[in-house]
Amino acid sequence: MRARVVFYDEKTGEIFQEYDRAIFIGRKPLADKGYTKVFVAFFRDVLENERLGKGAWRLLLYVIDKLSYDSLEVHLVPQRAAKDLGVTERTFYAWLKVLLEEGFLEKLARNVYLLRPYIAVKGYMAKATASIPDF
């Protein structure tokens, strides 16, 4: 398996080194695996927010999980989200109301919301499909 490997500074985006035809060495091939970065400022706001109870927090994590990899917009179908979270639609809407009022989400259109930009970003990274032994 060949891959393009780029070493860069996450803060500035400056590329240090780049290899177009790198070969990963290991027992099993590597797969491109998604990740989500969540920022410290977000956790600080969540912990300091007295209105954001366990339920709204669960919905917020659900929203983060449903983000696409190229946008902070998320499409939430109330019936589906309520079912996935194991709650009634009424409870879903109560949690959603808190997230909207506290500024964690912004409504863009029917069932379309924008996640506050400092909360999280999604991307891809190569991740081993099997555990790699420590050296």
DSSP per-residue string spanning 49-89: -SS--HHHHHHHHHHHHH--SS-SEEE--HHHHHHHHTS-H
pLDDT in tens, 59-68: 998 998 888 7
pTM for the predicted model, two decimal places = 0.63
Domains of the chain: 34-128 (1.10.10.10)
Cβ contacts of 82-89, under 8 Å, gap ≥ 24: 85/58, 85/59, 87/55
pLDDT of residue 39: 74
- Average pLDDT per 10 consecutive residues for the chain, totaling 135 residues: 58 66 47 63 82 89 83 90 95 96 93 81 48 42
